Amino acid sequence: MIKSLHSVVIFALCCAPVFGQQRGQGRGNPGVSPQTIMDTTEVRVTRVQLEAGAVRASHVHNEGPFHMFIPITSPVEIFFGPEGKEERETVAPGQVHLFKSNTPHGFKNAGSTPVTFIEIFVKNTGRADNISPRVIEAIQESALWLRKTDR
């Protein structure tokens, strides 16, 4: 499982320009450019470019129990929770933020240059409920490795 996750993340970073499919500029959000890199029955990986000042409005995902948000090039400001009670957090490159299914969330590039991040969506396959804390640690370790090698 750990080797598979490393492979998915490395594939996502290296092959996005070759295999990416544009999905309409972030569904009506100017400056948000998602590319689907991988889409299988178990996982979907998306690489997103967020232009300076761009915002992806609050939205939810319900295709699986959770998804992971991993900034690659620069910090990204995320907001999550019910409208009017959103929490805000800045996620640094290489850090992993987990969103549970149906959690309202969005993100903003408060910087002056474009930001790239990866989202990994674990789908409802009946196996995701059994993900161990060790696997989550491996995901976080992978993100730290990416942070060190992406520069």
What is the DSSP code string of 83-150?
Answer: TTS-EEEEEPTT--EEEETT--EEEE--SSS-EEEEEEEE--SSSGGG--HHHHHHHHHHHHHHHHH-
pLDDT band for position 77 (50/70/90)? very high
- Confidence band (pLDDT; 50, 70, 90) for 27? low
Q: Which DSSP letter does residue 11 get?
A: H
Place 14 in a pLDDT band, splitting at 50, 70 and 90: very low
CA distance 67 to 18: 23
What DSSP designation does 64 have? S
Q: Among 92-101, 130-139, 142-151, which range has the highest average pLDDT? A: 92-101
pTM > 0.85: yes or no:
no
> Would you tell me how many other CB atoms lie within 10 Å of the CB of residue 21?
10
User: Which of the two residues, 131 and 30, has the higher pLDDT score?
Assistant: 30
Question: In the CATH scheme, what is the code of domain 2-49+62-73+91-102+113-149?
Answer: 2.60.120
Q: At which residue do the structure tokens 């295709």 appear? A: 63
Give CA–CA dist 115/76, Å, rounded.
7
Separation of first and last alpha carbons in the chain: 26
Question: Domain residue spans in the chain?
Answer: 2-49+62-73+91-102+113-149
**CA dist., res. 120 & res. 48, Å (int):** 11
Say what the pLDDT of residue 139 is: 62
Q: Which residues contact 18 (CB under 8 A, 6 or more apart)?
A: none
What was the pLDDT predicted at 13?
Answer: 45
The residue among 79, 146, 84 whose CA lies nearest residue 117 is: 146
